[in-house]
Amino acid sequence: MPTHTNAPLTPNQRARVRETLESLGPQIQSVALLFYGRLFELDPPARRLFHIDLAVQARKIMDTLDAIAQSLEQFDVLSERLAELGRKHASYGVTPDQYESVTSALIWALAQALGPDFDRPTREAWVLTLAHVCDAMRRGAPSQS
């Protein structure tokens, strides 16, 4: 999934990301569970990283995505929080290459939930958003030599 993470999101792309989350409404928890199911298919070793109830974890990831969506205009401010999140995830054993499977699983889950509403411009907005998020998190993680 090639991205150009140095490209900023346009106002339209930021709006698409926010609108996507809003449109999911009460099914947001189901989307998160779809995401985890897909993630564990793509990256079976990732399952060992989760030691709490997946329903609780699902709420956490969706809350995080909502906070990201609401802060896209001030991504530089959010970037430091994401770097800290990257440090935290690295301490749990998350490796830099696992960000790709997380992105793929989340894009897949959104596509499943939204169907035709997850059109090409919406998908591109999400891919770019997640590329920025993953880059910020990777910058926070200690380098692995």
* Domains identified in the chain and CATH numbers: 11-140 (1.10.490.10)
9-64 pLDDT, tens digit per residue, is 999 999 999 999 999 988 888 899 899 999 999 999 888 888 778 888 888 888 88
**Contact criterion met (CB below 8 Å) for 85 and 140:** yes
| Cα gap 7→13, rounded to integer Å | 12
62-94 pLDDT, tens digit per residue, is 888 888 998 998 888 888 889 998 888 888 888
| Residue 141 CA to its chain's centroid (Å) | 16
pTM of the model: 0.86
Q: In this predicted structure, what is the pLDDT of residue 35?
A: 93
Q: In this predicted structure, what is the pLDDT of residue 1?
A: 42
